[in-house]
Amino acid sequence: MTAKRVIVLHDERLANSAEPSLLQLTDLKPVVADGLLADQLGRQLHDLRISVTDRCNFRCSYCMPKEVFNKDYPYLPHSSLLTFEEITRLANVFMSHGVRKIRLTGGEPLLRKNIEILIEQLAALRTQDGGKLDLTLTTNGSLLAKKAVALKAAGLQRVTVSLDGLDDAVFRSMNDVDFPVADVLAGIEAARQAGLGLDKQGHFSGIKINMVVKRGTNAEQILPMARHFRGTGMVLRFIEYMDVGATNGWRMDDVLPSAEVIKLIQSEMPLVQLEPSQAGETAQRWGYADAMGKHDPSLGEIGVISSVTQAFCSDCNRARLSTEGKLYLCLFASQGYDFRPLLRESSVSDKANDSTITTALAHIWRGRNDRYSELRSTMPADKTSATISGKRVEMSYIGG
């Protein structure tokens, strides 16, 4: 009697002893991928975020607070991480369903040894219509100065660097490991020198700078950051502090709404709102304006990512893969679909397994109706976000 083939659904809310629910694969009608896969809300799968490590050398309090992510924290053993070949196989299946953009994340992805090899493998993949993949990576910049040239040579096109302030003391307190801001700025410069993020117009719009804004912690860094990156071509984005995971002690009082960030910048540098550059874009774009109030491209633009005050779930086309092969359908999810056993099942050929994964992914995505941020915004402010979804997966496990 052949063992029933299943995908295990890991649920953060269940005690380890509880029986996880299973997706019975044999019950699924086989699906042939055609590059178009929509969920319950009509959102086409387009972006895949892949976490390649659950480790990081920073301890940003809004993501990996030091008290929790200490030396006793149960980090994943290397053997449970997907290999580069397994990641590439899965990426290929996601691309057959329409993924055109892959973002490598973590933890800190540049801590994953030889990540250039994975980037080379992914850069060689082609989309359903034979096009090149839009391949990018989010990093804290601590290793970028050393790695920028090799990343570019391996096929990385763009990079996003997290930078929560220019003031060295503020930055060191935000990363909570006393890491100097100068080294991250040197990493950004190295990325520019290596030609990462160079767009067709010769601007560095492909280098994005992400600043998480926490009221009472680094809000006074907003204007210095805007002044610093204005006119460089790089795109600075201000991210509202979010209730991700279950460990950062999030409170609505610590959120500085993006509308206030825009008002603050406009008080010194005129801005004009710009059209989204593509469907599913998380950032709202604002261009620096000239004296006539028109966008002056030479001054560049900024973005605001407002998951708390202006939810953007309606066109969210992002899937997330954890470091050990679990698929999450939302940043604030509690459940993950475990693909690793299927990838490693040796009794069946990889080809057969990949077509099973193709079918399973189609059924899972078609059943997706996640819209956590929209739901959060309908909740009375005094209701904790745990009310909506219970315990959620950690952002450092599935990438931001």
Binding site for ligand SF4 (CB under 6 A): 307, 312-313, 316, 318, 330-332, 370-373
8-state DSSP, 339? -
CB of 334 to ligand SF4, least distance (A): 12
CB of 315 to ligand SF4, least distance (A): 9
CB of 204 to ligand SF4, least distance (A): 27
* Angle between helical axes of 115-123 and 144-154 (0-180°, round to 10): 30
Cβ closest to ligand SF4, residue 58 vs residue 328: 328
Strands 21-24, 6-11: parallel, antiparallel or unpaired by DSSP? antiparallel
Q: Give the 3-state secondary structure of 113-130.
A: CCHHHHHHHHHCCECCCC
Nearest to 107 by CA among 137, 147, 72: 137
Cβ closest to ligand SF4, residue 250 vs residue 312: 312
CB of 84 to ligand SF4, least distance (A): 26
Tally Cβ neighbours within 10 Å of residue 12: 17
CB of 284 to ligand SF4, least distance (A): 13
CB of 60 to ligand SF4, least distance (A): 19
Burial of 200 (0-12, 13-18, 19+ CB in 10 A): exposed
Cα–Cα–Cα angle for 60, 65, 67, rounded to 5 degrees: 145
Cβ closest to ligand SF4, residue 326 vs residue 371: 371
**Long-range contacts of the stretch 66-71 (C-beta < 8 A, 24+):** 66/176, 68/247, 69/247, 69/396
Cβ closest to ligand SF4, residue 284 vs residue 373: 373
Cβ closest to ligand SF4, residue 131 vs residue 390: 390
Q: How many residues does the chain have?
A: 400
Cβ closest to ligand SF4, residue 4 vs residue 13: 13
